[in-house]
């Protein structure tokens, strides 16, 4: 049923093929005048309007994932005092501690406080927000809730489409749901992780665009497939890029034999060339087969596209020995003669004794 805004009634439209692209819903257990979340442009505009008119001096961010930390970084840049509450032992879910711990220290060095505790928020009687965490109450001028997204799968579920264990609508490679005339794409679906083989719910714009395109082609009578993802993602936190692809060490638990990892440091440009900065890399690989399974990096320049190189290697199921032979560029202002990708891979090969 589609609402007709002019008549105020609902009209039933028939279809031969339907695409459901209902997106995701933010996990928003707390609401109030001073409590915000960020899902769409309207949310962003409301938040900006509040900041421009009320000039908050301090902010709480509940949730230390990528969006929470990017928003904490933006609030800090606006001059606010910022506290991030994270309910699990480490910030940045999906990253291993060799990356999340230095990011945490970096944030602390820029006056962003992290409190490792589950928090709840409610408007305060005196204005602002009371955040309750670990048996203590903290007061802030505003709070942003960044607890993630869940698939908006209700419409598809009500239509009888099968939902998956990860919470999203299940589709085949053509983005067709269990009802052949209904396709689904974007943040409302779950997709296959091509490395672990498991279905996952990782709502990203990259996947939404690809799956939307495939659903559209097929619904219009064409022929296209989407195989899955390897969970490549990047974010920028106070000018520090953090990026990941493939499996984390924790995720790489089953099916690859003995798992090993290495952490290495490298320069983004030739050492002698001015203006470069440090890149920290972690590689996760199978000690048994030498296959690269995951990569994570942090640094101030050249990080996201290097993770993209490793994403290609991981998606193609390449072994460390083959990656070490990649012909990558060297020019002092752009990269050292041993690119950070190659340095990380050589460190891993050294650990393998090869
Ligand atoms: C703050 C933030 C930062 C992000 N940053 C990145 C990033 O850096 N990189 C990245 O890859 N991804 C990022 N994402 C994720 C990315 O924005 C989403 O994956 C992408 O927008 C999903 O697109 P979609 O079309 O599936 O869903 P949406 O963009 O959510 O669109 C779905 C639309 O459907 C509408 N709708 C729902 N139900 C109905 C209905 N029954 N009838 C009519 N309309 C309906 C909704 O109102 C909504 O407008 C970010 C997300 C957020 C919130």
Fold match between 15-23+150-219 and 237-352? yes
d(CA 301, CA 343): 16
Long-range contacts of residues 219-224, Cβ cutoff 8 Å, at least 24 apart: 219/17, 219/18, 219/19, 219/183, 220/17, 223/174, 224/174
pLDDT of the residue at 67: 98
Name the DSSP letter for residue 249: T
Question: pLDDT tens-digit profile of 258-280?
Answer: 999 999 999 999 999 999 999 99
Average pLDDT (105-129) is: 97
CB of 26 sitting under 6 A from ligand 1: no
Which residue among 22, 175, 233 has the greatest number of ligand 1 atoms within 8 angstroms of its CB, and so is best to mutate?
A: 22
d(CA 288, CA 352): 9
**Backbone phi and psi for residue 156, each to the nearest 5 degrees, phi listed first:** -65, -40
d(CA 334, CA 190): 38
pLDDT of the residue at 5: 83
CB of 24 sitting under 6 A from ligand 1: yes
Atom of ligand 1 nearest to the CA of 39: 53
Atom of ligand 1 nearest to the CA of 155: 41
The domain made up of 38-145 has a fold known as FAD/NAD(P)-binding domain (3.50.50)
CB of 172 sitting under 6 A from ligand 1: no
CB of 293 sitting under 6 A from ligand 1: no
d(CA 237, CA 76): 10
pLDDT of the residue at 290: 96
Using left for φ > 0, alpha for ψ between -120 and 50, and beta otherwise, residue 277 falls in beta
Cα distances (angstroms) measured from residue 4 to each of 8, 154, 159, 233: 6, 21, 21, 39
Crossing angle between the packed helical segments 66-77 and 97-109, to the nearest 10 degrees: 20
Q: What is the distance in A from the centroid of ligand 1 to the CA of 62?
A: 20
pLDDT of the residue at 11: 86
Q: Which ipTM did the prediction report?
A: 0.97
Cα-based angle 268, 269, 270 (whole degrees, multiple of 5):
135
Using left for φ > 0, alpha for ψ between -120 and 50, and beta otherwise, residue 25 falls in beta
Q: What is the distance in A from the centroid of ligand 1 to the CA of 138?
A: 32
d(CA 347, CA 128): 50
Which residue among 5, 66, 156, 203 has the greatest number of ligand 1 atoms within 8 angstroms of its CB, and so is best to mutate?
A: 203
d(CA 289, CA 321): 11
CB of 90 sitting under 6 A from ligand 1: no
Task: Name the CATH architecture for the domain at 15-23+150-219.
Answer: 3-Layer(bba) Sandwich (3.50)
d(CA 18, CA 246): 32
Q: Structure tokens of 208?
A: 């939404």
Question: pLDDT tens-digit profile of 326-350?
Answer: 999 999 999 999 999 999 999 999 9
Is 248 within 8 Å of 296 (Cβ atoms)? yes
Domain-wise residue ranges, the chain: 15-23+150-219, 38-145, 237-352
Task: Report DSSP letters for 76-133, one per residue.
Answer: HHTT-EEEEE-SSSSSSTTS-HHHHHHHHHHHHHTTEEEE-S-EEEEE-TTSSEEEEE
Q: Structure tokens of 326?
A: 């990649």
H-type alpha helices, the chain: 41-54, 66-77, 97-109, 154-158, 205-219, 304-315, 320-323, 340-352
Residues listed for the chain: 354
The domain made up of 237-352 has a fold known as FAD/NAD(P)-binding domain (3.50.50)
Residue (of 165, 156, 148, 160) closest to 188 by Cα position: 156
Question: pLDDT tens-digit profile of 267-320?
Answer: 999 999 999 999 999 999 999 999 999 999 999 999 999 999 999 999 999 999
pLDDT of the residue at 253: 81
Long-range contacts of residues 231-236, Cβ cutoff 8 Å, at least 24 apart: 231/94, 231/193, 231/200, 231/202, 232/206, 232/307, 232/308, 232/311, 233/66, 233/94, 233/202, 233/204, 234/303, 234/304, 234/307, 235/66, 235/67, 235/69, 235/70, 236/70, 236/73
Q: What is the distance in A from the centroid of ligand 1 to the CA of 37?
A: 13
6-10, 193-197, 224-228: which has the minimum mean pLDDT? 6-10
Crossing angle between the packed helical segments 340-352 and 304-315, to the nearest 10 degrees: 50
More confident residue, 10 or 324: 324
Q: What is the distance in A from the centroid of ligand 1 to the CA of 120?
A: 25
Q: Structure tokens of 226?
A: 């989407």
């Amino acid at each position: 049923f589609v609402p007709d805004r002019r008549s105020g009634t609902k009209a039933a439209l028939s279809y031969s093929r339907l695409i459901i692209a209902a997106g995701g819903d933010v996990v928003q257990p707390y609401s109030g005048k001073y409590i915000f979340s960020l899902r769409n442009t309207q949310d962003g505009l409301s938040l900006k309007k509040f900041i421009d008119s009320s000039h908050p001096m301090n902010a709480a961010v509940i949730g230390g994932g990528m969006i929470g930390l990017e928003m904490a970084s933006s609030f800090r840049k606006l001059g606010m005092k910022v506290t991030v509450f994270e309910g699990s032992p480490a910030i940045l879910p999906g990253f291993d501690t060799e990356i999340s711990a230095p990011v945490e220290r970096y944030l602390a060095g820029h006056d962003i406080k992290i409190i490792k505790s589950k928090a709840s928020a409610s408007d305060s009687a005196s204005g602002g927000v009371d955040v309750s965490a670990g048996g203590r109450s903290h007061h802030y001028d505003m709070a942003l809730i960044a607890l993630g997204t869940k698939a908006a799968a209700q419409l598809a579920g009500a239509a009888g489409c099968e939902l998956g264990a990860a919470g999203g609508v299940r589709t085949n490679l053509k983005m067709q749901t269990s009802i052949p005339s209904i396709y689904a794409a974007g943040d409302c679906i779950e997709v296959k992780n091509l490395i672990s083989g498991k279905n996952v719910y990782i709502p990203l714009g990259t996947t939404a665009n690809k799956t939307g395109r495939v659903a559209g082609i097929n619904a219009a009578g064409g022929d296209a497939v989407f195989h899955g993802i390897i969970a490549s993602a990047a974010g920028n936190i106070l000018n520090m890029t953090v990026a990941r692809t493939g499996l984390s060490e924790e995720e790489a638990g089953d099916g690859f034999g003995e798992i090993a990892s290495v952490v290495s440091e490298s320069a983004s440009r030739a050492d002698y060339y001015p203006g470069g900065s440090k890149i920290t890399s972690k590689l996760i690989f199978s000690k048994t087969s030498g296959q690269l399974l995951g990569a994570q990096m942090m640094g101030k320049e050249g990080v996201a596209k290097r993770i993209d190189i490793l994403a290609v290697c991981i998606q193609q199921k390449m072994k460390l020995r083959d990656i070490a032979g990649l012909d990558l560029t060297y020019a002092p202002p752009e990269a050292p003669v041993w690119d950070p990708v190659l340095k990380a891979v050589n460190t891993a090969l050294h650990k393998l004794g090869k």
